[in-house]
Structure 1
């Protein structure tokens, strides 16, 4: 209705006439009240307009109009004032009598609803999830489109609170600006399991995620409250099990191997020296040719 407030951004426009009308020639145009910018001009004969031949005409703005947008005049933003114009003659009755239309800024205007501060609906990984692959992206799903502002998404180790990585929300590792889904891509280094290395997302380790309050905001500048504790979003990465030897140099059964060839062992995941030795035997009698501790400088 004229001067209505709190209108959802996905509301369709409905016009009720005193008699049956038919679509003719002209547009239904949505303007921003603050500057008169045209948000969308919808031809009366288009598929977005239904009800021709009845007394009730329904206008469906495009999908884009259903999404709140920050600083984008092509989106029906939450908490914004709009007015509607209808071209004279855009509708007419069965005798060809034309509807006079609406050509001013005051006859039909409304204010879209402000949904309030963005709310976090779900995350990947989910809170308390276990067995999470170390190459998993962090995905935050909100109840309305959000935009990066100022702050970071920070990954911590749960055991000692060490910062694994602090990711600025305005950096290239954060995508989804202007949508309800924000994806955070930790650095390549985080995709590698690491033992005793606070800069690596180690396998079989517990982590928690914090988001700076105000790091994201909606189209009206309402800030997301953030996550500032160690319990709201925590997870445990997967332990892939014992390392497996994928290949070696020299390869098994290789011949003609140069006497100065280094031994190279390739595993299916990063490995770290622990306790033990690498021993070379003569095949004919199993005599030990050489022994090297895995913690020595030679390894």
Structure 2
């Protein structure tokens, strides 16, 4: 009986020492998940799984004298939507979301859906009444289309953490944080607008079987079966079935002082069947059947 106090002291000391060292220390550090650049098309429906990024198995906890524990993890981020029962979170790029998957020593990769211990963003993956040493985790990040998408760089962000729960003491070990490294998203549209036939410069109208040439100085119309040339110094129209002569500003048979000269006959050049000259003070029509001298000056 003399040794009873000593025995009690030793028992208390052993129990205290055991409880002090019954713990798991986080050893994973900052866990980083590498992404890949992604191309998205407009016709992909919302909810499309665009890619999945995964890690290798990582040592997350070193334990001493611990039994009866549950492993798992949780997601961090701004909740966006549920896709197939999986909670999906927003990124900084419009229409791009992510989900975090967690796996530990037993079971399969699980994504938070129904929550764990009053936390909708968490999930448990594995439980033991004994002990693990070390404890490992593996993570997966799914990238989803959650709406009309933009383009740009998804910034590096914290997306989740490992969890370890002591069932006997109802307490938690410290987290190992999980980060998603940056990657680029490019959105490609499939609905390209058709090119119009009209350009922003001058416009030439071709209403017949021939061709109309329009140069930047003015407008040229071809309404017949022949060809009409429109040059920047003046205007020429060909309304017949033959070839129209060139309409130049200086020294010509068909002259235009205030408006336009019309060539309505056979082949032009040095000969014209009709010489219509429009003067600023009125209209004077001269019908001449003879050849005109090209060098006549008025």
TM-score by length of 2: 0.29
TM-score by length of 1: 0.29
